Amino acid sequence: MRHTILSLALILIHLHGPGLAQEIQPLAAPLRLPPRQPVDLAQGSAGVVASASPLASAIGCDCLADGGNAVDAAIAVGFALAVTWPEAGNLGGGGFMLVAPAGSEEPSADRIVRCIDYRETAPSAATEDSFVNWTDRRHPRMAGTPGTVRGFESAHRRYGSMPWKRLIEPSIRLAREGFLVDRYLAYSLNSVLSDPLIRDHDRYAEFRRVYQHPSHSLWRPGDRLLQPDLAKTLETIAENGADGFYTGRVADAIDRQMRSDDGLISRQDLHDYQPVVRTAIERSVLGYQVFGAPPPSSGGLTVGLQLKMIESLGLQPQADVPWTVDHLHLMSEVMRRAFRQRAAFLGDPDFSTLQLDGFSDQAAARLAAEIDHRHATPSGELAGDIALTDGPYESEQTTHYSVIDATGMAVSNTTTLEQSFGSLSVVAGCGFLLNNEMGDFNWRPGYTNTEGAIGTSANLVAPGKRMLSSMSPTIVKQDGKVRLIVGSPGGRTIINSVCETIVQTLLFDRSLADAVDAPRFHHQWFPDAIYLEGFDPQAYSGMIGPLQSRGHVVIQTPGRRQGAVNAIEVDLDSGIATAVADWRRGGAARAVRSKPVANPTASRAR
């Protein structure tokens, strides 16, 4: 009943179209992740947005409604997320923005799908050995030189149509006047603030000053979060462009913090930072053109290799269930092989010539043909010339949003601070967090272990180099028109969450809502195990035993959620786009002049 009321409330909000009206949030226990709900849906032909935050999605739609294009809206959403979703939305991080310009079906230079690579770089003081014995991931030393603000500026210069300031003003207002915290943000803030390390350590005093509840209690839905320092930083960026971040007062503050906290980023590193505009990876698969982020993201190549292998295995859908034992077996075999290739070959292409033959269509066919349809291949057998060690596991927040405008221009953007709230280092007086992205390099040269550490050469640390990413912003075209925009957070699981969503929609012909709702699973070569989502005990019922008898180690952690796919699909006949936001981390879909839309996932939520 509560969900029916909530869904009705959401439909009413959609009917009223975008805006900054605050949504009514039912009270929930502030330290528990909100329960499963229907995915959030919005539909229209005048532009749609799906992101992790209702306010950010509304800001994107307002921008489209005011005549902005998809890139304008994506930049506005990105700045808004830095205010409303601080665990991953950022100024002090980086990411990859895939842009598919609108246009005729004729291929031409101005229709090339490009990737704005605004990945962080290693500071000039970082060397191959800087982190060999380093264990503290939540340290300012783990921050790479941030790329987000220059990246957004570069996207705006190339594609933007609205004044830069217009894209930032709504976020300045949200930061200065505050906004009402929802259940997901309350959970996110409470989780980090209740960590004893954050509560008690001097190093996190600025973090506490900025994010702690004014009365030092837990955050509750409906409380107001004010960020006056962040408002000033955003104003400086609105006035001075990216120079307002990379030079002057903000750069000085970063530099001072790095000196006092044993960090590596210098004023020169900030001054020198440049995003790179790259051509997207393009792959013909399953009758579609799949575009993905190129190295230094592993996303485009690895998702593409997996899809090619799946195509050659001829997977068929089965009515009524998202996945069968055969699907899980075969896709896990695909994943383990693709992640082995990722570990062996990928890194920053501007620092070494990457050997990419292992991702070709021929390689995909060969790797797929080696798969035993009845038995798991132990991951160790695939190591080849990668020396393996047995050793302890080193574990590793990111956010993805999708935008399409009325002309069909599409943006798929994934951005991150690496872990939730990055290095936990808030730049004093500036109100934003620095990333801890250096952890995405291979820390220990030569040390690849059975628990997931990778030590291969292409992704070792070097000054100015970009660390390998799993971020997989993806755009799929059919007959030259945008059909699907997809991406997710989740570290290495991103690649598999994106692949599974594409298989569900394009190969199994399910609605995007069902595809996003479907349970997810993950295999990453090492650890040699299939990780099943655990929020729904029924989802894999009767499947674990048969998978074990095929030789798989299967791990299902109760409550585990994989990723948060905020995606868009377009009906090419009607031109209507449907935005779908994942319930797993509280995403929100919004449309310019929305139409009501039936939600096939409503009955599944508990």
- The helix (run of H) or strand (run of E) holding residue 249 is helix 248-260
Segment near ligand DON (CB under 6 A); pick from 107-115, 467-475, 509-517, 546-554: 467-475
Beta strand 398-405 with 410-416 is: antiparallel
Residues 6+ apart with CB under 8 A from 273: 121, 145, 146, 147, 150, 246
Q: Closest distance between ligand DON and the C-beta of residue 93, in Å? A: 9
What's the DSSP call for residue 162?
A: S
469 sits near ligand DON (criterion: CB under 6 A) = yes
Asked if residues 536 and 36 have their Cβ atoms less than 8 Å apart, the reply is: yes
CA neighbours within 13 Å on the CB side: how many for 139? 15
Residue closer to ligand DON (CB basis): 274 or 420: 420
Q: What does the per-residue mask of binding to ligand DON show for 387-406, with x meaning CB under 6 A?
A: ----------xx--------
Asked if residues 52 and 566 have their Cβ atoms less than 8 Å apart, the reply is: yes
Asked if residues 485 and 568 have their Cβ atoms less than 8 Å apart, the reply is: yes
Q: What does the per-residue mask of binding to ligand DON show for 412-431, with x meaning CB under 6 A?
A: ----x-x-------------
What's the DSSP call for residue 21?
A: P
Asked if residues 415 and 89 have their Cβ atoms less than 8 Å apart, the reply is: yes
The number of helices, as runs of H, and strands, as runs of E, in the chain is 18, 23
d(CA 459, CA 443): 9
For 251-280, b where at least 16 C-beta lie within 10 A, e where not — what string? bebbbebbeebebbbbeebbeebebbbbeb
Other residues' Cβ atoms within 10 Å of the Cβ of residue 434: 31
- Count of residues of this chain found to bind ligand DON when the rule CB under 6 A is applied: 13
151 sits near ligand DON (criterion: CB under 6 A) = no
Asked if residues 402 and 346 have their Cβ atoms less than 8 Å apart, the reply is: no
Residue closer to ligand DON (CB basis): 469 or 566: 469
Q: Closest distance between ligand DON and the C-beta of residue 81, in Å? A: 14
Q: Closest distance between ligand DON and the C-beta of residue 416, in Å? A: 5
Q: Closest distance between ligand DON and the C-beta of residue 495, in Å? A: 9
**Residue 353: active-site member:** no
Q: Closest distance between ligand DON and the C-beta of residue 582, in Å? A: 12
Inter-CA distances, 171 with 3, 212, 228, 581, Å = 30, 20, 11, 21
Q: Closest distance between ligand DON and the C-beta of residue 333, in Å? A: 23
Residues 6+ apart with CB under 8 A from 475: 98, 100, 113, 280, 290, 291, 410, 412, 482, 484, 485, 486
Q: What does the per-residue mask of binding to ligand DON show for 28-67, with x meaning CB under 6 A?
A: ----------------------------------------
Whether the CA torsion 381, 386, 387, 392 is positive or negative: it is negative
Closest to 18 in 3D by CA, of 77, 75, 71:
77
Residue closer to ligand DON (CB basis): 22 or 420: 420
Q: Closest distance between ligand DON and the C-beta of residue 77, in Å? A: 18
Residue closer to ligand DON (CB basis): 243 or 350: 350
Residue closer to ligand DON (CB basis): 38 or 563: 563
Q: Which of 117, 223, 440, 533 is the binder for ligand DON (CB under 6 A)? A: 440
Segment near ligand DON (CB under 6 A); pick from 343-351, 384-392, 465-473, 572-580: 465-473
d(CA 466, CA 461): 8
- 386: its two tokens: 């990668």
471 sits near ligand DON (criterion: CB under 6 A) = yes
347 sits near ligand DON (criterion: CB under 6 A) = no
Whether the CA torsion 572, 576, 581, 587 is positive or negative: it is positive
> What does the longest C-alpha to C-alpha distance in the chain come to?
62
Residue closer to ligand DON (CB basis): 52 or 404: 52
292 sits near ligand DON (criterion: CB under 6 A) = no
Segment near ligand DON (CB under 6 A); pick from 315-323, 468-476, 574-582, 589-597: 468-476
Residue closer to ligand DON (CB basis): 456 or 511: 456
Q: What angle do CA 130, 134, 135 make, to 5 degrees?
A: 155
User: Which residue do the tokens 């030789």 mark?
Assistant: 551
According to DSSP, the residues that pair with 321 across neighbouring strands are 318
Residue closer to ligand DON (CB basis): 188 or 470: 470
Q: Closest distance between ligand DON and the C-beta of residue 275, in Å? A: 15
Residue closer to ligand DON (CB basis): 171 or 397: 397
Query: Residue with the closest Cβ to ligand DON?
Result: 398
Q: Which of 470, 505, 578, 599 is the binder for ligand DON (CB under 6 A)? A: 470
Q: Closest distance between ligand DON and the C-beta of residue 428, in Å? A: 24
Q: Closest distance between ligand DON and the C-beta of residue 166, in Å? A: 30
Segment near ligand DON (CB under 6 A); pick from 248-256, 286-294, 466-474, 592-600: 466-474
Residue closer to ligand DON (CB basis): 68 or 300: 300
Binding to ligand DON, residues 484-543 (CB under 6 A): 489-491, 494
Binding to ligand DON, residues 475-494 (CB under 6 A): 489-491, 494
Beta strand 481-486 with 474-478 is: antiparallel
- Identified catalytic residue from 398, 493, 505, 578: 398
Residues that bind ligand DON (CB under 6 A): 397-398, 416, 418, 437, 440, 469-471, 489-491, 494
**What is the set of active-site residues?**
398
